[in-house]
Amino acid sequence: MSFQGKQLPAELVETVVRLKNHYDEERKTGKFVSTKDAAKRTADALGIGIATVKRIMAQYKKDGDEVVVRIKERPGRPPSSMCPIAQPIVRKFIRTENLGGRRVSIGRVCKFLSSKHGIDVPKMTLWRALNRWGFSHGEGRRRNSLKEQDRIIFARREYLRAKLANRNPDGTLKRPEVYLDETYINKNHSCRSHGTLT
């Protein structure tokens, strides 16, 4: 199997590291061992080049004796959409920063996503996603910062009031509650022309 010019799978990288370490230990313990060149034996056993084995081992030692496979990024334009998992993370970060009285900007959100969660996203893509998610760039006393739009804050307050009104003093429910997720509420399927007879 030839891997020339291709990304090596994580399993093969781990196999190279383990086999090379095994041959090195074998060479250290025995006086008469056929393992004089552990890198060459590893390369021959796995059908890859000696330079590849040496490069993998150098990266392994550089990463602090940890097998890390870095996936090469495709060349070209950066992604133009955000992954859906990022929405609750971003929403929580902006809320905590606003409650703490700290300024929130697109740059700070980008740095937070990159450092804490490993999500690299261009600023303009994040800006478009924040607009879709209901955030606006509001004016504060001294500087501008990101905040949730008023309609979203009011809707959340109304929802929480309705939830509290449905509770008895001991915490039990007065009426049953039903929760719907996004699969049942899809605005793309609601169109005026559907279901009408002409």
* 106 CB-near residues (< 8 Å, 6+ apart): 123, 126, 127, 130, 146
pLDDT digits (tens, 9 = 90+) for 77-115: 766 677 778 888 998 998 898 888 888 888 899 999 988
Residues 137-167 pLDDT 10s: 766 555 555 677 778 888 888 988 999 999 9
Q: DSSP code of 51?
A: H
What per-residue confidence (pLDDT) applies to 185?
Answer: 58
How does pLDDT run across 7-56, given as a tens digit for each residue?
Answer: 677 777 788 887 887 777 777 777 666 667 778 888 877 778 888 888 88
Q: At residue 134, does pLDDT exceed 50?
A: yes
Q: Rounded distance, CA 73 to CA 120, Å?
A: 11
Rg (CA), the chain: 28
pLDDT band of 131, cuts 50, 70, 90: confident
Burial of 76 (0-12, 13-18, 19+ CB in 10 A): exposed
- φ/ψ of 147, rounded to 5, equals -155, 165
What residue ranges define each of the domains in the chain, with the CATH number in brackets?
10-62 (no CATH), 81-181 (1.10.10)
Structure confidence at residue 76 as a pLDDT band (50, 70, 90) = confident
Q: Output the pLDDT for position 166.
A: 92
**Alpha-carbon span 134 to 148, nearest angstrom:** 6
Closest CA to 125 of 116, 138, 115, 114: 114
Q: Is the pLDDT of residue 193 over 80?
A: no
Give the least confident one: 65-79, 107-121, 151-165, 172-186.
65-79
Tell me the pTM. Answer: 0.39
